Amino acid sequence: MFDDAIDLAGKSAALHVERFRPGLALRNWSIRQSGQRRSHLLALESRGGTANMRGTAIAFGSPTLLWLPCDHDGSLQVEAGAQGYLVAVSDDLLTQTIAGSAEALHLRRTIDRLVLLEGAKTSEGFAAIAASCSMLVGELAIPGRGSATMLSTHLLLTCLHLWRALIAEEPVDDITLRGDGPRLVGNFLQMVELHYRDGWPIARYAAALGVTDDKLHAHCKRETGVSPRAVLHQRLIREACTRLRQLDLPVEQIAYGLGFHDPGYFNRFFRKHQNESPGTYRRRVRLSPGRHGPSYAAWP
């Protein structure tokens, strides 16, 4: 039925971008989240298509921007004659890309939700997103000096334009009622990215931000749903999992690299959050199907 069926779950790279041009038959992509969780962006320039997610079919025309967060399985189909771009990007790479942005909190909220913008609703950013997708395709095909930075930059621009296009269609939220909460938490998330391996206590983050521990805790709970300590621990665990998957270093060396002075404490910390030891986790993910050679997931 389909002239070009592609299983995106089988692609090991942290970033996959393709330009599809008009063809004589339908195109289909299957999405199965396993191992490295990926989000997907479809920028459809012509014709129409359908997304099948969790038993629900979503039909759309063109132009369309469709963002599927990393917890969605299903399939995408576009009609014969359709053209556009398809992007698959790992959650690890997305997190690393947006973390240093002043809008990190807003971008995180955007990429964690399903976004469908059609027709006039895409006018805010479709051309810019398509241009960044084109740059990504070219840079992945023929890497040059500074490729990692170029790719990360255009991926960040894509997220920013998607956020802009989304908020242009939504009513003003309650940010003014929340005061400086979003900005404070955004700055906290940036500081976590800079210092999560330095062993900073939450009190030091609060002092650096010029607020009390209680104020940081209250705003962080309201904006993210978890405490500052949980944010810090989640970041450490995410980095630990990435290093265990990608590096052949001993677990003790990974622990030291993450700021743990006692490998035994690192083992207990990891087991508490992952329900298995670091060594067991590494063996399990490396034996899991779909794990292939080197990927761009190790980008800074």
Residue with tokens 């500074």: 146
Looking at the domain assignment, is residue 294 inside a domain? no
Higher pLDDT, 264 or 104: 264
| CATH assignment at residue 227 | 1.10.10.60
- Across 239-258, average pLDDT: 91
Residue with tokens 């003003």: 172
Looking at the domain assignment, is residue 296 inside a domain? no
Same domain, residue pair 106 and 42: yes
Do the Cβ atoms of 185 and 105 come closer than 8 Å? yes
- Across 260-272, average pLDDT: 93
- The predicted pLDDT at position 289 comes to 58
Same domain, residue pair 181 and 164: no
Looking at the domain assignment, is residue 87 inside a domain? yes
Higher pLDDT, 176 or 90: 90
CA neighbor of 74 nearest in space, from 16, 15, 114, 26: 114
Looking at the domain assignment, is residue 295 inside a domain? no
| pLDDT, tens only, 36-82 | 688 999 999 999 999 887 677 889 998 999 999 887 788 899 999 99
- The predicted pLDDT at position 256 comes to 92
- The predicted pLDDT at position 21 comes to 92
Q: Per mean pLDDT, which range of 98-107, 152-161, 202-211 is the poorest?
A: 98-107
| CATH assignment at residue 53 | 2.60.120
Same domain, residue pair 163 and 185: no
- The predicted pLDDT at position 16 comes to 92
Residue with tokens 């976004």: 115
Give the pTM: 0.61
Residues, the chain? 300
Same domain, residue pair 125 and 85: yes
What share of the chain has pLDDT > 90, as a percent? 42
Residue 275 has pLDDT above 80, yes or no: yes
Same domain, residue pair 192 and 210: yes
- The predicted pLDDT at position 267 comes to 94
Give the range of the structural domain holding residue 219, as residue numbers without chain letter. Answer: 177-288
- Half-sphere CA count of 128, side-chain side, radius 13 A: 17
Average pLDDT, the chain: 83
**Between the CA atoms of 229, 277, 255 and 252, what dihedral angle is there, to the nearest 10 degrees?**
160
- The predicted pLDDT at position 170 comes to 56
Higher pLDDT, 290 or 238: 238
Residue 169's pLDDT band (boundaries 50, 70, 90)? low
d(CA 185, CA 190) in angstroms, rounded, equals: 9
| pLDDT, tens only, 112-135 | 888 889 887 777 789 999 999 999
Residue 291 has pLDDT above 60, yes or no: no
Same domain, residue pair 116 and 262: no
- The predicted pLDDT at position 178 comes to 46
Q: Provide the 10 A C-beta neighbour count for residue 185.
A: 23
Max mean pLDDT range (62-66, 71-75, 168-172, 296-300): 62-66
Residue 22 has pLDDT above 60, yes or no: yes
Same domain, residue pair 152 and 199: no
Same domain, residue pair 10 and 128: yes
Looking at the domain assignment, is residue 293 inside a domain? no
Residue 207 has pLDDT above 60, yes or no: yes
Which of 168, 192, 221 marks a domain boundary? 168
| pLDDT, tens only, 1-10 | 233 433 333 3
First vs last C-alpha separation in the chain: 41
Looking at the domain assignment, is residue 299 inside a domain? no
Same domain, residue pair 126 and 150: yes
Looking at the domain assignment, is residue 41 inside a domain? yes
- The predicted pLDDT at position 295 comes to 38
Tally of domains within the chain = 2
Which of 145, 168, 191 marks a domain boundary? 168
Same domain, residue pair 149 and 185: no
Same domain, residue pair 135 and 55: yes
Looking at the domain assignment, is residue 298 inside a domain? no
- The predicted pLDDT at position 292 comes to 42
DSSP conformation class of 28? E
Pairing of strands 83-90, 15-20: antiparallel
Do the Cβ atoms of 64 and 116 come closer than 8 Å? yes
d(CA 91, CA 167) in angstroms, rounded, equals: 22
- Across 218-224, average pLDDT: 87
Answer whether the bond into residue 300 is a cis peptide, omega within 30°. no
Which of 168, 193, 226 marks a domain boundary? 168
d(CA 273, CA 230) in angstroms, rounded, equals: 10
Same domain, residue pair 98 and 56: yes
Please, what is the Cα angle at 13 between 88 and 96, to 5 degrees?
Answer: 75
